[in-house]
Amino acid sequence: MNNLFSRRKGLAIKTIVAIGIGAALVVAIYQVSIPVGFIPNTRLQFNAAIIAIISAIFGPVAGLFTGLISHTLGDAIFYGGVWWSWVIADAVYGFLVGLTFKKLKISEGGFASKQALIFNINQFLANAAAWIFVAPILDILIYAEPSDKVFAQGVTAFAVNGAVTLIVGTILAFAYSKIRTGNSSLEKEA
């Protein structure tokens, strides 16, 4: 994974590309959703799971910008307007969900049940912070929306995103980790 030029200032090239491709993936599946069934007109989206996995592999900065760019462009391209409070919430989510990325070892092939537990505890906390805290508060501050409504929306978003990331995010992490060879297969000689 390490490259010869990694001492360069600023963001690593890999992070820059991961942000770009990760955001493109999120926008590409922006309108892909599956019916929940028991709640009318509710559909599950997979944005949160993709942002989480990008952040868990490439770190919180990659997650932050993936969330920011994908939500802004997705909103603008598909809905012709950008709901900034939720864009910021998604960026916060992307950042927080990647905070434990060094412990997860996904690209080194070390993602096992312990790492899955860390990943999921972290993602539920990040989801709670973003959707129950940041998004509703910004909705009230920026758009002056009624607080009951925005907190109800926030709790729903928290539950849905948490569940999708728990299932899809964890599956993706296991699957990708399986095809990566461990760093430890080679030892550096003294």
SS3 content of the chain, % helix, strand, coil (to 5): 70, 5, 25
Enumerate long-range contacts of 5-10, CB under 8 Å, 24 or more apart: none
Q: Which of 80, 185, 186, 189 binds another protein (CB under 8 A)?
A: 80
Q: CA-CA distance, 47 to 32, in Å (whole number)?
A: 9
In the set 2, 10, 154, 186, which binds another protein (CB under 8 A)?
10
Binding of another protein by 43 (CB under 8 A): no
Contact call for residue 8 and another protein (CB under 8 A): yes
Residue with tokens 């955001």: 23
DSSP annotation of 174: H
Among 2, 7, 113, 179, indicate the residue that binds another protein (CB under 8 A): 179
Residue 76 as a binder of another protein (CB under 8 A): the answer is yes
- Site membership for another protein, residue 182 (CB under 8 A): no
Tell me, what DSSP letter sits at residue 78? I
Q: Is residue 109 part of the contact set for another protein (CB under 8 A)? A: no
CB hemisphere CA count around 112 (13 angstroms): 3
- 159: contact with another protein by CB under 8 A: no
Residue 44 sits at φ, ψ, to 5 deg, of: -90, 135
Binding to another protein by residue 40, rule CB under 8 A?
A: no
Using CA atoms, how far residue 61 sits from 16, 44, 179, in Å, is 10, 26, 24
**x/- letters, 127..146, toward another protein (CB under 8 A):** ---------------xxxxx
Residues that bind another protein (CB under 8 A): 3, 5, 8, 10-11, 13-14, 16-25, 27-32, 34-38, 44, 46, 49-50, 53, 65, 69-70, 73, 76-82, 84, 142-149, 152, 163-164, 167-168, 171-172, 175-176, 179
